[in-house]
Amino acid sequence: MKKLIFIFILTISTQISFAQDFDFIVAQDGSGDFEKVQDAIMAVPDFRNVPTYILIKSGKYKEKIVLPVSKRFVVLVGENVDETILTYDDFSSKHNRFGEEMGTTGSSSFFVFGDDFAAKNLTFENSSGPVGQAVAMRVTGDRAFFENCKFLGYQDTLYAQGEKSRQFYKDCYIEGTTDFIFGASTAVFENCEIYSKTGGQYITAASTIQTVPFGYVFINCKLTGDAPEESVYLGRPWRIFAKTVFINTEMGSHIHPKGWHNWNKEEAEKTAFYAEYGSFGEGSSVEDRASWSKQISKESIQDFSKESILAGADDWVPGKNLKKNLWQAKLQVTNEN
């Protein structure tokens, strides 16, 4: 009995010490520093050059959240990815308080403008339903890193927007219907599940600018969904220099045999870069793929490593400067409970 009591006291003590390592704690029950995520973000000193760690306890936070340009190196860690949900329900045709339509960008539930943002164990949601464009997450800032996060919505779920933005998504889940991963950013998705819901036909809609060497690159991902067989295209070009690549990706039967669509832009067949390497699964056959798409050679695949894609002039390595004990918060909380 004494041993059990000692273990219990030790566990509680460890949890308290662990929680104190965070700069701020957000909890809806009032047990933290803030009850709203936005309030915690605004408490971060402007243009800080070291990470600010914010622990978000389990709960559904209905907030329209903005991370301003001045809030750099903000790190959000949820207690549990399935129980820590940041959500809002705006959509493009909804009118704001001035009577104007919000548009796609304005519909975003979470805006990331600041550089060096990181998030783990969180669900980002647009809960408005199948009502047209409705963004769950818009990322404009550079060097954004998401791990073990979920992005939930229908059309236009994840807006990787910034033309000069580099983004890394690791072990994430992203769902939607039409163009639910879209925008001009350079983004690598590693070990992610990409789920196509019934009612959509396109996974990606990149708008890569001509001078940027990479758009979206999916590495070791899995394409799943409840969409009908052979009904979903891997991508279509929002802008004609769109770039999207799938590497060693498992593709379900919902993937259309042609793989790629030109969005009725014939010129894009000459300017877009749509390619695959090592695709497998029921929807992976290249026999009927669009003739203007490409299969990357074994000799060229080394050019598409996440390191070379994301490094840039500053040699960015996602997660390099994060404190391991805080970044792995979910594992610690789980073990202690």
pLDDT tens, 291-300?
999 999 999 9
Q: Give the CA angle between residues 132, 156, 255 to the nearest 5°.
A: 105
- 244-273 pLDDT, tens digit each: 999 999 999 999 999 999 999 999 999 999
Assigned token pair, 237: 């070009």
Cα separation, 166 vs 32, whole angstroms: 32
Q: Are strands 173-176 and 24-26 parallel, antiparallel or unpaired?
A: unpaired
Predicted local distance difference test score (pLDDT) of residue 12: 37
Q: Closest Cα to residue 165, out of 215, 203, 124, 104?
A: 215
Each residue's pLDDT expressed in tens, for the chain with a length of 337 residues: 433 333 333 333 344 445 668 999 999 999 999 999 999 999 999 999 999 999 999 999 999 999 999 999 999 999 999 999 999 999 999 988 888 899 999 999 999 999 999 999 999 999 999 999 999 999 999 999 999 999 999 999 999 999 999 999 999 999 999 999 999 999 999 999 999 999 999 999 999 999 999 999 999 999 999 999 999 999 999 999 999 999 999 999 999 999 999 999 999 999 999 999 999 999 999 999 999 999 999 999 999 999 999 999 999 999 999 999 899 875 444 444 4
Active-site annotation holder among 21, 82, 179, 314: 179
- 70-83 pLDDT, tens digit each: 999 999 999 999 99
Helix (H, G, I), strand (E, B) or coil at 108: coil
Cα separation, 260 vs 256, whole angstroms: 8
Predicted local distance difference test score (pLDDT) of residue 172: 98
Span(s) in the chain for CATH 2.160.20.10: 1-145, 177-321
Q: Residue 323: count other Cβ atoms within 10 Å of its Cβ.
A: 12
Cα separation, 78 vs 54, whole angstroms: 9
CATH number of 177-321: 2.160.20.10
Q: What are phi and psi of 161, to 5 degrees?
A: -90, -40
Which residues have CB under 8 Å from 299's CB, separation 6+?
none
Predicted local distance difference test score (pLDDT) of residue 98: 85
Q: Closest Cα to residue 250, out of 227, 275, 219?
A: 219
DSSP per-residue codes, 219-253: ES-EEEESSPTT-BEEE--SSTT-EEEEES-EE-T
| Superfamily of domain 1-145 in the CATH hierarchy | Single-stranded right-handed beta-helix, Pectin lyase-like (2.160.20.10)
Predicted local distance difference test score (pLDDT) of residue 19: 62
Q: Closest Cα to residue 208, out of 242, 181, 257?
A: 242
Residue 179 annotated as catalytic: yes
The DSSP H or E segment spanning 271 is helix 268-271
Residue with tokens 């559904």: 60
Cα separation, 197 vs 223, whole angstroms: 11
Predicted local distance difference test score (pLDDT) of residue 7: 33
Q: What are phi and psi of 200, to 5 degrees?
A: -120, 160
Assigned token pair, 45: 């000193």
